[in-house]
């Protein structure tokens, strides 16, 4: 385990109960089903969520794949996964592992990375590996917060930047923390776009939450739909 892994596990371990309350509050739960519905899942598919946290998305993913499908949640922090088990959100299986070194092989249909690419030192390389894991015909989704480009979003963007600093597992409080986070997200999205034959983007939460889904090895054209 690297020093960075230890810091992330310690941070999210301390805050797992608070994180779960925020993750399941009505403002957050309102976009979880639309997220699952946007992942191009079908009955019997296998879907893995990288950075599943306390499992708030897992029941919605289960709805999409049905009883014949498989849902796997992967997270670095044991306390997060224990919380998921305690409240009955396993929905298939939970694995404590690093999203940069997932103990997975092929036969995956969809990978969803939730609030994780902004924490990675090399998000482009990690997303490229996820694309290899799903293979041709599979999909990779990236869900993350980011600064809004909408009009009159200045005050809300200031709050967003403050939240990124406060929630930084590294403890960094630099004024540029949000900019570094957004840059990593862009690297991840660029890496996905380079591998995908089509990408669909949807925005939620007033434009502060973006889901980008790339289909690997398909022949259709790209589409952008940034809407609530």
Q: Taking residues 131-147, what's their average pLDDT? A: 90
pLDDT attached to residue 66: 94
Question: CA-to-CA distance for 113 and 140, rounded, in angstroms?
Answer: 8
Q: Taking residues 160-164, what's their average pLDDT? A: 53
Nearest alpha-carbon partner for 212 in 123, 97, 96, 152: 123
pLDDT digits (tens, 9 = 90+) for 49-86: 999 988 999 999 999 999 999 999 999 988 889 888 88
Question: CA-to-CA distance for 22 and 192, rounded, in angstroms?
Answer: 29
Please state which of the four CATH numbers 3.20.20.70, 3.30.43.10, 2.40.110.10, 3.40.50.150 is assigned to the domain occupying 3-216: 3.40.50.150
Beta carbons within 10 angstroms of residue 182's beta carbon = 18
Q: Taking residues 128-147, what's their average pLDDT? A: 91
Instruction: Decide the pairing of beta strands 93-96 and 196-204.
Output: unpaired
Q: How far is CA 173 from CA 121, 147, 163, 165, in A?
A: 17, 17, 10, 5
**Three-state secondary structure call for residue 197:** strand
Q: Does the pLDDT at position 129 exceed 60?
A: yes
pTM value? 0.81
Q: Mention every residue, 6+ apart, whose C-beta is less than 8 A from residue 167.
A: none
Q: Determine contact, residues 216/196, Cβ cutoff 8 Å.
A: yes
């Amino acid at each position: 385990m690297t020093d960075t892994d230890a810091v992330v596990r310690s941070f999210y371990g301390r805050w797992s109960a608070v994180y779960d309350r925020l993750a399941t509050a009505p403002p957050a739960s309102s976009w979880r089903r639309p997220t699952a519905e946007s992942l191009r899942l079908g009955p019997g598919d296998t879907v893995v969520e990288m950075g599943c946290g306390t499992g708030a998305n897992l029941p919605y993913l289960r709805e999409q794949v049905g009883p014949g499908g498989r849902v796997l949640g992967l997270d670095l922090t044991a306390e997060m996964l224990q919380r998921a088990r305690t409240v009955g959100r396993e929905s298939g299986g939970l694995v404590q592992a690093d999203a940069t070194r997932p103990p997975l092989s092929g036969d995956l249909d969809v990978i969803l990375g939730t609030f994780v690419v902004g924490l990675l030192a090399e998000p482009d390389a990690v997303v490229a590996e996820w694309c290899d894991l799903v293979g041709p015909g599979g999909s990779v989704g990236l869900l993350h917060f980011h600064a809004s480009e909408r009009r009159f979003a200045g005050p809300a963007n200031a709050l967003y930047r403050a939240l990124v600093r406060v929630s930084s597992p590294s403890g960094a409080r630099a004024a540029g923390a949000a900019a570094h986070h957004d840059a990593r997200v862009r690297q991840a999205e660029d890496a996905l776009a380079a591998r995908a034959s089509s990408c669909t983007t949807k925005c939620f939460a007033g434009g502060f939450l973006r889901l980008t889904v790339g289909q690997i090895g398909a022949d259709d054209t790209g589409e952008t739909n940034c809407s609530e």
